[in-house]
Amino acid sequence: MSEALLTEDLRSVLDAQGYVVVDDVMPLGVLDRMIDALAVRAAVYGQEVERSGGRRSYASQELSQQLINVVKSGETWPGQALDISLPKGDIVPDTPMFLEPEAFELLTEPRLLDVIERFIGPEIWLSPVGHVRLKVPHEIAPANNTRLGTIGWHQDNGVLLEEADDVEILTVWIPLREATVQNGCLCVLPTPRGSDLIEHCAGGLSIPATEMPPLAELPLPMRRGGVLFLHSRTLHSALPNMSGNEVRISMDLRYQPVESPTGRPQFPCFLVRGEEEAGRSIATWEEWRAGWLDARDRLVNKDAGMFNRWSRVEGCA
């Protein structure tokens, strides 16, 4: 991390423009271990499909090629097995999640928490809103699958319930590999803190084009080890992955002050930094994993309830 950024008031920069990129935060070994663990899980999924009479496993191939070949084959996408949270519905007793120690190591990396502390203070909750993003090349990405393809312009506050509107939730976006203009890096529209929450389409994943402000988008290519920080009203999207042979792999995470609404009351949150008190302790990997498995058991075959407040269809794709 550069000396300039160590001394700069990152919170003021975030408040003014809505985004901050900080280089050299994440140790590369942490990123490598996460990619390796994802590759193992993808290979296991492929072997299970192979045993049941589906496609071959691709287990000997590099992770990007495994994922590209899965999409090309037309087999069921294993994305939920590679994600760190539950889906919004249709939860069953064996709904898969990626709850490996390598994921928790990344989520609680001390150097990452050091920077997060400069934005939201010394008491940090890991929000339940978080995903592994696997952005495949544009020409093979299925339509309307935001985990694989291009997501529209949105604000992260727009995918939460109203209870979180006044909470200082910090979006933390971490590329596991280099994010380039070619493979689909994120774009932002500079958005000062305090900007209005714009009406989103039903589901909260995009803003109708008629509601978008007339500003020039700013692509944010990033090196490995860098982290992008956004506040919850920052307008952002991503470029299409035009690489042809790469999968852009990233982590899309949220952190927030302790004891504040998350906007996802159905799902668990975890103390990852702060003072330990009676009845409150820093989460371990075992506790993080158990928390998500308990949530799955509680929500099996149940209506998980609302995840955002939007119903708009007009002007939405």
Q: Are the beta carbons of 231 and 170 closer than 8 angstroms?
A: yes
- Of 258, 15, 10, the closest CA to residue 114 belongs to 10
pLDDT digit string (tens) for 26-58? 999 999 999 999 999 988 876 665 555 555 555
How many beta carbons lie within 10 A of that of residue 298, not counting itself? 12
| pLDDT level of residue 1 (50, 70, 90 thresholds) | very low
Q: Are the beta carbons of 234 and 191 closer than 8 angstroms?
A: yes
**6: pLDDT strictly greater than 60:** no
Residue 1 CA to residue 3 CA, distance in Å, equals 7
Tell me the CATH number of domain 3-29+105-299, given options 3.40.1260.10, 2.60.120.620, 1.20.58.100, 3.40.920.10.
Answer: 2.60.120.620
**12: pLDDT strictly greater than 50:** yes
- Residue ranges covered by each domain of the chain: 3-29+105-299
DSSP 175: E
pLDDT digit string (tens) for 101-123? 999 999 999 999 999 999 999 99
**Amino acid letter for position 194:** G
Phi, psi angle pair for 160, to nearest 5°: -120, 165
pTM comes to: 0.93
Q: How confident is the model at residue 315, as a pLDDT?
A: 82
Question: Mean pLDDT over all residues of the chain?
Answer: 90
Give the range among 94-103, 195-204, 249-258, 289-298 with minimum mean pLDDT. 195-204
**Number of continuous H segments (helices) and E segments (strands) in the chain:** 7, 10
Q: What DSSP assignment string belongs to 112-140? A: HHHHHHHHH-S-EEE-S--EEEEE--GGG
Residue 38 CA to residue 241 CA, distance in Å, equals 20
Give the range among 2-11, 81-90, 169-178, 221-230 with minimum mean pLDDT. 2-11
Residue 241 CA to residue 131 CA, distance in Å, equals 18
Structural tokens at position 158:
């727009």
Q: How confident is the model at residue 33, as a pLDDT?
A: 95
